[in-house]
A and B are shown apart, each in its own frame.
Chain A
Amino acid sequence: MSATAAPIEPSGAVDAGSASTLRREVWRELRHSRSFLIGMTIVLVWTVCAVAGYHIGPYTPFEQNLNAVNTAPSGSHWFGTDQVGRDVFSRVIAGARSVMLVAFAATLLGTILGTVLGLITGYLRGWVDESLSRLIDALLALPVVVTAVLVVAALGPSSITVALCIGVIFAPLIARTVRTAVIQERELDYITAARLRDERGSYIMFSELLPNVMPPIMVEFTVRLGYAIFTVASLSFLGLGIQLPTPDWGLDISQNISVVSAGYWWEVLFAAAAIASLVIGINLVADAIEKAME
């Protein structure tokens, strides 16, 4: 085959709005989305807190001042102090780390497991799909928090157990989304073309299908991250996650909930507001991404 004969096609009708510019399109869309900007700001603030929270607070989160227990918010203690005189503001800032780390790890684990499961069930179909899908349906029937409580209580409370447990519970949810996307995608001719080259199943699943089902996976990941934050905080509240004295929102709420009736509302409110704001921030981002992807 020589390339001498005829002229090469002269100019390239390169148009926008296509796969490789998809990322750019989505990004452009996101930058103009108010909910994305607000949500991202909230998430970024908490991320900074998670990274540097132990150092940027006015006090260290562990410092006890027994001369100033249960003091109301003031100039020196913006969010007041708790029962042992720790600065609530500093603990809220530092508390972002544990919950975000565990939730992120859990969601990542769940997404990876779920994606693999979804690719396998969606691509292979047949009895593999039948049996795995039944298993997934069974897992989906379990209520998340109740299951987590039972499992973590049985295995012993620790951050790693919590992350593993939530990840495994999330996997079937993500698997179902991925499976639906894969089932649509596998009907396209490029999959037939790959089979005609006798490609291995693993290549087809991970190199051909996976990049094309990334958008729903991204959406699912952000949505799950919001739920994970909430679940991790709930488990800490029940004493089933992070252990004292690590600053943690859920844990701090449970430690101080008993004194709310005594009027020391600030010891609980700010941690609760922190959880709420992070979940809302992530959900705003998730909504914006979902909208931009369509």
Chain B
Amino acid sequence: MSSPQPRPDALVVDHLDIAYTVRGNLRSAVRDVSFRITPGQAYGLVGESGCGKSTIALALVNYLPRNGAVTGGSVEIDGTDVRSLRDESHRRRRARTVSMVYQDASRSLNPSMRIGRQVAEVFTVAGADRRQAAERAEQALARVRISDPAGVMRRYPHQLSGGMQQRVVIAMALAAEPALLILDEPTTGLDATVEAEVLDLVAALRQEISTALLFISHNLGVVARMCDRVGVLYAGELVEQGPAREVFTAPRHPYTVGLLRCIPRRDHLKGHGVLDTIPGFLPAPDADVTGCEFADRCALAEDRCRTDPPPMYPVGDGRGSRCHLHERAHELPRSTPPQARRAPEAVAATPLLQATGISKTFRSSGADVHALTNVDIEIRAGETLGLVGESGSGKTTLARVLLGIVEADAGAEVALDGQPLADKTHDRSREQIKAVQIVFQNPDSALNRRHTVRRLVGRALSKLSGLRGSTRDQRLLELTRSVRLADRYLDLRPGQLSGGLKQRVAIARAFAGAPRLVVCDEPTSALDVSVQAAVLNLLAELQGKEQVAYLFISHDLGVIRYLSDRICVLYLGRVLELGSAEAVFSAPHHPYTEALLSAVPTVDGSTNERIKLDGEIPSPANPPSGCVFHTRCPRKVGEICETDEPPLVEQEPGHAIRCHIPLAELRTMQKPERPAPAAIEPVA
């Protein structure tokens, strides 16, 4: 493989067209996509769902579904046309050319085979004998920073955490040092601290090997952090490409401009004003668009945008933009007025909901799993309490206890307006039932797919508000209009609506009984960023109008920050920090909060100093002694952390931290608030 002449480009995609045959019709999925990746470079491909990211990835490895075909252009990896790699006889060569890491690592691993055998198999295929293969497998696992490779090799995939599984998959993908490694949403679904670790690993490996990366993600922050160059896909076309930092700080295509504006930034709060959104929807896959694909949603569009498809205009060094108006892309007017929202009225003296001593123990195969341990929270009328924590922290269990779906252990007390709330929904009064409702994460699961929108919302109205007949129909229209659902959607079923519209139906249903508290369980995590912005705007608007309180669960700290007045940080079922959003997000904070905040990649590429956490989140079945966080705490003070659990102490008014380190000391440890990343607010 080592040849004197310079290595060819790792990937050259030249005018690639891909189409699917749907019921006898050819439907174009990717059009005229060209980009190249030089050896060792990292290229990010970003775009919202339906833009063709995954189709391109599949075409690169020749795995298009049977009804998909490359209808034009070519793909060369490491100087070889991929179509020639299809052959079984080229298996070995393919292993050295390209490999792919998928989103869900657990599905890439064979559940019935020990890790060692699976990794060794890669080397056996490449021609090593059994002992050699086992040795090299161990080295490969060590390379992805697995501390006990021999031990891990003896385990089965289900015995490893998600982050560990993804490391194993990456080790296997890199085994043959391919020229190109494709990572398709490799960290989606992982917790923030684990995601950060995997990204750190990939970044470190790039220093060691010459493999080029194609990084596919919907998360602009991740791409900004990992990639040298980036391409933005829209409706199957590459609309903009260039060096990542330049594209994200000074975008030259209105779609990129809009996309960047949709993302809630750390310093952007609901009181500051509404988020910008991208109006409209992706053109339908069979739509016949004559001009620019984005023209319909673009406020800058002129007549020629609707008639002449724009070519890829070169706009500076290695940059291109498929926009006639690339000179003025940054002038794109906001689609929503940036008016400030009136601050919620003075918070009532008595809390709306008060929960004390909430513990929940699940019994699972003989062992007690402590999902929640002695949690006290209160939620005031009209405020948003953000609930932050990684998987296994108990955030969903807490929400379910408040809703009456899960019964807490004895000793828990939940009160609404000072009146005790029964453990089970069924035993609560009708007033109490309608007062506490929920918006689920996944609208596909939350809405009965056989019912029309009218029936879904109407049933909630009659059941919760007790309305009948024409009063109900009247209220139904008011309600659906208030969540910006056009009347014509009322007789459609969820399957006929886009993700954002479905989530609006779910919100309308939750608001049917004029609730006092709505639990929002990751309501936007299944949505694209532009849709997420619209849904967040709607939630903030409804809160302003209805004085409803939210318990808002999200793993996205930007989203939490945008909507929350106060924030509660959970770890292994315990509250580690509780205070105003302002206080929790700025130092001094609990060391865990500090690590969480530093783990979030930002779009503007402002690299925070990462606080690394060691090891895995411990099992709630066997929580560590003393402070539950001591096993991973970078600021552990000593033995006291292992023996005594620190109390949750109100360190300053309205800001409680569960840590042995005194507040003053935390303050000096954690450098004063890093300069706000406002430095590169691209085009506001």
Q: A residues engaging B (CB < 8 A)? A: 1-3, 5-15, 17-22, 188-190, 192-193, 195-199, 208, 211-212
Q: Which residue of B lies closest to A199 (CB)?
A: B463
Per-position 1/0 for B531-568, Cβ under 8 A of A? 00000000001000110000000000000000000000
Complex alpha-carbon distance, A19 and B492, angstroms: 10
Contact A3 B481 (CB under 8 A): yes
Q: Which of B192-200, B373-381, B382-390, B436-444 contacts A (4 or more CB under 8 A)?
A: B436-444
CB distance from B152 to the nearest CB of A (A): 32
Contact A13-B405, Cβ < 8 Å, known A193-B438, A196-B437? no
Q: Which of A5, A10, A197, A211 contacts B433 (CB 8 A)?
A: A197
Q: B residues engaging A (CB < 8 A)? A: 279-282, 284, 336, 403-405, 425-426, 428, 430, 433, 436-438, 440, 442, 445-451, 459-460, 463-464, 478-479, 481-482, 484-486, 488-489, 492-498, 500-501, 504, 509, 541, 545-546
Q: Which residue of A lies closest to B482 (CB)?
A: A1
Contact B481 A8 (CB under 8 A): yes
Complex alpha-carbon distance, A46 and B1, angstroms: 71
Going nearest first, the 7 A-B pairs with the smallest beta carbon separation are A18-B495, A3-B481, A13-B498, A19-B449, A211-B450, A19-B495, A20-B493
Complex alpha-carbon distance, A22 and B494, angstroms: 12
Contact A20 B495 (CB under 8 A): yes
Q: Which of B279, B403, B445, B495 contacts A188 (CB 8 A)?
A: B445
Complex alpha-carbon distance, A19 and B541, angstroms: 31
Task: State the total of A-B contacts with C-beta under 8 angstroms.
Answer: 118
Residues of A within 8 A of B336 (CB): 6
Complex alpha-carbon distance, A37 and B446, angstroms: 37
Contact A19 B493 (CB under 8 A): yes
CB distance from A200 to the nearest CB of B (A): 10
Residues of B within 8 A of A5 (CB): 541
Q: Which of B464, B484, B486, B496 contacts A18 (CB 8 A)?
A: B496
Residues of A within 8 A of B460 (CB): 197
Most buried by B among A6, A18, A189, A212: A189
Residues of A within 8 A of B426 (CB): 195, 198
Complex alpha-carbon distance, A198 and B436, angstroms: 12
Residues of B within 8 A of A11 (CB): 280-281
Report 17 cross-chain contacts, Cβ distance below 8 Å, ordered by A residue: A1-B481, A3-B478, A3-B481, A6-B541, A8-B484, A8-B486, A12-B486, A12-B489, A12-B497, A12-B498, A15-B284, A17-B495, A18-B495, A189-B440, A192-B405, A198-B433, A212-B450
Residues of B within 8 A of A21 (CB): 495-496
Contact A18 B437 (CB under 8 A): no
Complex alpha-carbon distance, A22 and B450, angstroms: 10
Contact B446 A193 (CB under 8 A): yes
Contact B495 A195 (CB under 8 A): no
Contact A12-B440, Cβ < 8 Å, known A190-B446, A198-B425? no
Q: Which residue of A lies closest to B491 (CB)?
A: A20
Q: Which residue of B lies closest to A28 (CB)?
A: B23
Contact A19 B405 (CB under 8 A): no
Contact B492 A20 (CB under 8 A): yes
Given contacts A1-B481, A193-B438, A211-B451, 12 further A-B contacts (CB under 8 A): A8-B486, A9-B484, A12-B281, A13-B282, A13-B284, A13-B498, A18-B494, A196-B405, A196-B438, A197-B433, A208-B448, A211-B448
Contact A14 B496 (CB under 8 A): yes
Contact B497 A13 (CB under 8 A): yes
Complex alpha-carbon distance, A192 and B440, angstroms: 10
Contact B484 A13 (CB under 8 A): no
Most buried by B among A13, A14, A17, A20: A13
Contact A3-B482, Cβ < 8 Å, known A20-B492, A196-B425? yes
Contact A19 B488 (CB under 8 A): no
CB distance from A154 to the nearest CB of B (A): 43
Complex alpha-carbon distance, A249 and B484, angstroms: 63
Residues of B within 8 A of A196 (CB): 403-405, 425, 433, 436-438
Q: Which residue of B lies closest to A198 (CB)?
A: B433
Residues of B within 8 A of A189 (CB): 440, 442, 445-446
Residues of A within 8 A of B485 (CB): 8-9
Complex alpha-carbon distance, A211 and B445, angstroms: 15
Contact A1 B478 (CB under 8 A): yes
Contact B484 A195 (CB under 8 A): no
Q: Which residue of A lies closest to B495 (CB)?
A: A18
Contact B498 A15 (CB under 8 A): yes
Complex alpha-carbon distance, A2 and B541, angstroms: 12
Residues of B within 8 A of A3 (CB): 478, 481-482
Residues of B within 8 A of A193 (CB): 438, 440, 446, 509
CB distance from A23 to the nearest CB of B (A): 10
Complex alpha-carbon distance, A18 and B496, angstroms: 6
Q: Which residue of A lies closest to B297 (CB)?
A: A10
Complex alpha-carbon distance, A19 and B281, angstroms: 21
Residues of B within 8 A of A208 (CB): 448
Q: Which residue of B lies closest to A20 (CB)?
A: B493
Complex alpha-carbon distance, A192 and B510, angstroms: 12
CB distance from B112 to the nearest CB of A (A): 23
Residues of A within 8 A of B486 (CB): 8-9, 12
Contact A10-B449, Cβ < 8 Å, known A3-B482, A196-B425? no
Q: Which residue of A lies closest to B285 (CB)?
A: A15
Residues of A within 8 A of B448 (CB): 190, 208, 211-212
Residues of B within 8 A of A1 (CB): 478-479, 481-482, 545-546
Complex alpha-carbon distance, A195 and B404, angstroms: 9
CB distance from A6 to the nearest CB of B (A): 6
CB distance from A130 to the nearest CB of B (A): 19
Residues of B within 8 A of A14 (CB): 492, 496-497
Contact A190 B403 (CB under 8 A): no
Contact A18 B493 (CB under 8 A): yes
Q: Which of A9, A190, A197, A212 contacts B463 (CB 8 A)?
A: A197
Contact A10-B445, Cβ < 8 Å, known A3-B481, A20-B492, A196-B433? no
Complex alpha-carbon distance, A3 and B501, angstroms: 16
Residues of A within 8 A of B501 (CB): 9, 12-13
Q: Which residue of A lies closest to B455 (CB)?
A: A207
Contact A10-B489, Cβ < 8 Å, known A19-B494, A212-B448? no
Residues of A within 8 A of B497 (CB): 12-14
Residues of A within 8 A of B459 (CB): 197
Contact A18 B449 (CB under 8 A): yes
